């Protein structure tokens, strides 16, 4: 452990970026869909490898699992950067008091994780739209922003029934909230770049919203593949008992 802390800054930066990108690029929703449901999410629903499409195609439980896994893509690189920077995982004040080298290390990991999630080398540089990974980044790096953004997202989706509108609302307010609660250059720069990435990745959603063809979110839209799999398991269990 001490050897890692004594590495040069460029090596630490390289380790953080490499881990953030290649871990962030793991298409968990694709793996879960194929492994447990024999479904390729790229060919179902919106074709997006994110929580919303997972919910619509596979169901609630797989969607929750994907949400957690995709959030970890944002959390773990920040934790690694904080560790390599030499500050205990529970201490944020030192990194947030000024644009230190450690802060830039964490920002590099956070941004690379979002990019890796949305442009995965494992699946021809396709991926998700970065919302859950961004949430993980907020949680690990800017918890105050995460809490407000989560409330804003849930409230917006509850009012509009559009997940994309909730995500866009968070993207637009991310730089503002960051400037209010974490007014240091690395954090503000990260929030601006991630906001642009999120809006860009949701350009098709914006077009559908304008055309009135964007699918609405509903808890009733339970995953058809998940229901089919559960029906198979129930049938299998019934035949076994009989």
Domain layout of the chain by residue ranges: 2-217
CB 55 within 8 Å of CB 221 = yes
> Which range among 36-45, 139-148, 208-217, 219-228 shows the weakest confidence by mean pLDDT?
219-228
pLDDT at 117 over 60: yes
Q: What is the pTM of this model?
A: 0.85
Indicate the average pLDDT of the chain.
88
Cα dihedral sign, 95-131-169-64: negative
Q: pLDDT value at position 223?
A: 62
Pick the closest to residue 184 from 107, 74, 113 (CA basis).
107
pLDDT at 236 over 80: no
Residues in the chain: 242
Which band of pLDDT confidence, cut at 50, 70 and 90, is reported for residue 90? very low
> 126: which strand partners?
120
CB 33 within 8 Å of CB 39 = yes
pLDDT at 168 over 70: yes
């Amino acid at each position: 452990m001490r050897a890692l802390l004594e590495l040069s800054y460029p090596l630490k930066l390289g380790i953080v970026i490499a881990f953030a990108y290649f871990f962030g690029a793991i298409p968990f929703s694709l793996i879960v869909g194929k492994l447990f449901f024999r479904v390729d999410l790229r060919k179902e629903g919106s074709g997006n490898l994110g929580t919303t499409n997972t919910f619509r195609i596979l169901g609630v439980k797989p969607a929750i699992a994907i949400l957690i896994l995709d959030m970890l893509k944002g959390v773990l690189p920040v934790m690694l950067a904080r560790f390599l920077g030499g500050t205990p995982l529970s201490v944020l004040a030192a990194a947030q008091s000024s644009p230190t080298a450690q802060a830039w290390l964490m920002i590099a990991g956070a941004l690379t994780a979002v990019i890796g999630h949305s442009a995965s080398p494992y699946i021809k540089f396709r991926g998700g739209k970065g919302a859950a990974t961004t949430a993980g980044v907020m949680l690990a790096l800017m918890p105050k922003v995460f809490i407000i953004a989560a409330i804003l997202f849930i409230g917006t989706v509850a009012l509009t029934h559009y997940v994309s509108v909730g995500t866009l609302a968070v993207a637009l307010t991310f730089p503002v909230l960051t400037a209010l609660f974490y007014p240091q250059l690395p954090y503000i720069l990260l929030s601006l770049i991630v906001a642009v990435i999120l809006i860009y990745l949701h350009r098709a959603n914006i077009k559908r919203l304008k055309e009135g063809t964007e699918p609405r979110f509903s808890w009733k839209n339970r995953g058809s593949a998940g229901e089919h799999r559960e029906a198979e398991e129930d049938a299998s269990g019934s035949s076994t008992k009989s």
